[in-house]
Each structure stands twice: as C-alpha cells, then as structure tokens.
C-alpha cells in the first residue's frame, strides 16, 4: 500500500509522521491524493465518503467550483501583499452582517491565533488575568488554553512546556453546570477576565448546552463585568448563518472563527463589539499582528463560500443531518444497542456509551477501544469519519441521499463488528 510506504517515510521527517496529532492512527493513516464534493481519494486510488471534511471547513464539499474559480483568478493577481485589500473589507462586512455580536473583525491565520488574541483583548479590557474554560473544550494549541483540552489532546496529560505561571490563570469548570460557576464567580469574579466557551462542545464529540445554560452565562458575565467569548471556530457559519449565537439567541461580547470562514484555506478571526475591537492595535494598544493576516487567497475563498450560505443552504443541511442521525438511531435499534446519537444541523457523533452525554465526565464513559474497531470497519468500507471518539463528524452540501444511504449500511456493519 502506498499510504503505508509514505507513512513509514514520513515518520523519518515529520514527528509521528503527521503535522497534527489527530491525523495519526493505527496502523497508518491514508494519504490523500485528491478530493471532490463529498469524496476524498487516497494515493492507492480508494474513494471514501468524507465526514471529516478537513475537521470542518469544507461545508460546500471539496473543490467547490465557484471557490476554485475565484481563487485561481486571485492567484493570478498574487497571493500575499502585506498591504490591505478591498476584499478584506467585503469579508468583514459580510461577517458583521451575519453575526449578531460582530461590529468589527480582525482576520488572523488560525483558530488558535483567534482565541489567543481574544483572550489577550479580554484581559486588557478588564485589567484582570484569570480566564475560565470548560473541561474537554478545545480552543487551539496555545498555552493559555492547553489545560484538560479536547480534540487531539483529549485524555492526554497536559502538555509539557506550558509554564505553570501561564495556566495558573486558567480555571477549569464542567460544562452545563450552573452551580460550580455561580460559586466560582462569587469567590473570584473580580479577577476573571473572560469565560471562553464552545457554545456547542465539538472537540469532545458533540455536546449541546442545556436549555438556558448560555442565557445563564450571558447574565452571569454581564453582571460581573466578565467578557463572554464564544469560540465558534466549528459552529460559526455551520449551525446557522450567524452561528450558534444566532441559533441559541445569546450574544457574546467576542467571537472567534476559523475553518469555514476560510473556505478551505487557512484563516481565523476575532470579532465583537466596537468598543472592545477598537482596543486592538493600531487603533488601540492591544498588540495583534501577522504577516499573512487577511491573506487574499483565504479571504477570496471565504467570501465565495459565505456568499453561498443562505437560508435554503441551512434548511438543506438540517434535513441531511436529521436523515443521517435518524438512520443511525434505526441502525442502533436494529442492533439492540443503546448508544447515544448526538448532533445538530450538519454536525453529529455516535457516543459508544449508554449514558447521556452532557459534559467531559459523561463523554469519558464511551468505549474508546470499541470506537477504534468501529472506525476501522467504516474506513475499510469506504467511509471516513475522524479517527477518534472525541471528534465531531460533519456533513457537506455535496453529501447526497445515496451517500447517506450507503453510509448507514456501512455504519450497520460497523455496529455489528463491535456488538460483542
């Protein structure tokens, strides 16, 4: 197998053979040759229905023709300038129009940079140092937030190399628990700069907020002058045009984006209320900068993507999601399995546990060893889901009824593999 050969070669030059930990799975990951629509094709010529979708960005499917055409036009005019472009204004205007909390936007290169900058801004605005994050949430790979993190870091000890002085200011709380936060804010509220939250936890599978939880957070933070940051790197432009904040009707002070905003190219952004955003350099003195910030290729791809995300797009994605999740529930019933099917709109995951999942501790009851067998069965049969129980799966506009039907048959095989 060419993928196996490439992985053996890769391990000599890239740590663990990959450039991001979750990509490495046993015995070896497939290496991509190309991708189109709902499919990804490996170097051995095998086609997979793709529910990883590059971990979220490819909401229109791979190689969307409009995005490709605009990107090629832009490429011919240069790929980085180091000076502003009109398209940056256009994309910022679009974000402001779609996203309730956004008056202004700063484009960066990744979700990691976006959350790092949002936290710095919140600390500057409040002149407080502490931040609160949720167990199992993932906000990128920077030091402030690499504590009991989700995604590839899920279940690993916190990373060496992160100074205690940095993380002593990061307070962990369980998701969906009001009492813990009430006590915390009562005790330490006047030293907390921000609460950063994935409004739907998408790096530990899929965990929605309990009814009223986001409203509770909004009230608590407003009353205590704490900045509420929604990390919508996954949910932004996926759950609704205005993201989870529109879907749940709760407006944070700051929001972070990545993934879909770049239409398949690297991007990140923070956005929020004008008075906060204007504290960022050069209009204010909170430093944030980047050689590739507002890169014209990423901005072009983002603009062309966002223009295609209208009301009918979201209705269609909801239908596809419901069809797949209902189908998976039927498969589980037929196999006499009482696992949890979680999801909303075009996000989903099957937790291999009988316990309802509302937080990190619940998620950890999932049978990870069984998930590995399930994943392998799906992969062998041409369905690619992220290779870990604690990632979320995604649908794109290009996933057809046939894709969904085929996938359900293969999920049935996957469930049969792990039944005993």
112 contributes a contact to ligand PLP by CB under 6 A: yes
Q: Confirm whether 374 is a catalytic residue.
A: no
Instruction: State how far Cα 273 lies from the chain centre.
Output: 23
- CB half-sphere exposure, 162, CA atoms < 13 A: 17
Which residue in the block uniquely carries the two structure tokens 């906000």? 139
Catalytic residue among 259, 320, 364, 370: 259
Instruction: Name the closest residue to ligand PLP (Cβ).
Output: 111
Burial label, 63 (beta-carbon count in 10 A; 0-12, 13-18, 19+)? middle
- Yes or no: say if 354 and 338 are a contact pair by the CB < 8 Å rule: yes
Tell me whether residue 17 or residue 57 sits nearer to ligand PLP (CB atom): 57
391 contributes a contact to ligand PLP by CB under 6 A: no
Residue 55 tokens, joined? 């971990």
Tell which positions 251-270 bind ligand PLP, by CB under 6 A. 258, 268
* Smallest separation (angstroms) from ligand PLP to the CB of 202: 6
* Smallest separation (angstroms) from ligand PLP to the CB of 57: 9
Applying CB under 6 A, which part among 105-113, 119-127, 206-214, 281-289 lies near ligand PLP?
A: 105-113
403 contributes a contact to ligand PLP by CB under 6 A: no
Interaction mask 355-384, ligand PLP, x per CB under 6 A:
------------------------------
- CB half-sphere exposure, 340, CA atoms < 13 A: 22
d(CA 124, CA 276): 9
Catalytic residue among 48, 51, 138, 247: 138
Applying CB under 6 A, which part among 107-115, 119-127, 221-229, 372-380 lies near ligand PLP?
A: 107-115
140 contributes a contact to ligand PLP by CB under 6 A: yes
Query: Maximum CA pair distance of the chain?
Result: 62
Applying CB under 6 A, which part among 38-46, 109-117, 171-179, 366-374 lies near ligand PLP?
A: 109-117
Tell me whether residue 257 or residue 339 sits nearer to ligand PLP (CB atom): 257
Radius of gyration of the chain (CA): 21
131 contributes a contact to ligand PLP by CB under 6 A: no
Residue 230 tokens, joined? 């929604």
d(CA 120, CA 99): 21
d(CA 118, CA 85): 23
Q: Confirm whether 259 is a catalytic residue.
A: yes
Tell which positions 26-55 bind ligand PLP, by CB under 6 A. 55
CA distances in angstroms from 8 to 5, 14, 18, 277, 331, listed in the order given = 5, 10, 11, 47, 37
Angle at Cα 403 formed by Cα 398 and Cα 408, nearest 5°? 140
Tell which positions 268-307 bind ligand PLP, by CB under 6 A. 268
Residues belonging to the active site: 138, 231, 259
List contacts with ligand PLP (CB under 6 A). 55, 110-112, 115, 138-140, 151, 198, 202-203, 231, 233-234, 258, 268
């Amino acid at each position: 197998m060419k993928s196996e050969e490439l992985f053996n070669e890769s391990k000599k030059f890239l740590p663990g053979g990959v450039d991001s930990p979750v990509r490495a799975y046993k015995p070896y990951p497939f290496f991509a040759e190309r991708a189109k629509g709902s499919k990804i094709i490996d170097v051995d010529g095998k086609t997979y229905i793709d529910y990883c979708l590059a971990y979220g960005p490819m909401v229109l499917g791979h190689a969307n023709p409009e995005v490709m055409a605009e990107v090629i036009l832009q490429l011919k005019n240069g790929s980085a300038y180091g000076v502003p472009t009109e398209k940056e204004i256009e994309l910022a205007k679009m974000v402001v129009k779609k996203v309730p909390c956004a008056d202004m936007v700063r484009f960066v290169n990744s979700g990691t940079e976006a959350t790092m900058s949002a936290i710095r801004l919140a600390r500057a605005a409040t002149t407080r140092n502490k931040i609160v994050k949720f167990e199992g949430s993932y906000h990128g790979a920077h030091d402030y937030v690499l504590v009991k993190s989700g995604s590839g870091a899920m279940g690993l000890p916190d990373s060496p190399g992160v100074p205690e002085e940095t993380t002593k200011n990061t307070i962990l709380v369980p998701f969906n628990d009001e009492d813990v936060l009430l006590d915390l804010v009562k005790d330490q509220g006047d030293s907390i700069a921000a609460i950063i939250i994935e409004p739907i936890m998408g790096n530990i599978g899929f965990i929605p907020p309990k009814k009223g939880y986001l409203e509770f957070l909004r009230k608590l933070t407003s009353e205590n002058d704490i900045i509420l940051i929604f990390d919508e790197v996954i949910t932004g432009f996926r759950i609704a045009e205005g993201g989870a904040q529109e879907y749940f009707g709760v407006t944070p002070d700051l929001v972070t984006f990545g993934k879909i905003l770049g239409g398949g190219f690297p991007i990140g952004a923070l956005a929020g209320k004008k008075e906060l955003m204007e504290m960022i350099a050069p209009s204010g003195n909170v430093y944030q900068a980047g050689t590739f910030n507002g890169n014209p290729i990423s901005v072009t791809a983002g603009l062309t993507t966002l223009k295609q995300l209208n009301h009918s797009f979201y209705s269609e994605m909801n239908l596809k999601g419901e069809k797949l999740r209902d189908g998976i529930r039927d498969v589980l019933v037929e196999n006499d399995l009482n696992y949890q099917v979680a999801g909303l709109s075009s996000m989903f995951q099957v937790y291999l546990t009988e316990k309802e999942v509302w937080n990190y501790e619940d998620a950890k009851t999932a049978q990870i060893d069984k998930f590995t067998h399930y994943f392998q069965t799906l992969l062998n049969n041409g369905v690619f889901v992220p290779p870990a129980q604690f990632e979320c799966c995604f649908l794109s506009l290009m996933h057809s009824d046939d894709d969904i039907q085929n996938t359900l048959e293969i999920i049935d095989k996957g469930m049969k593999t792990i039944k005993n």
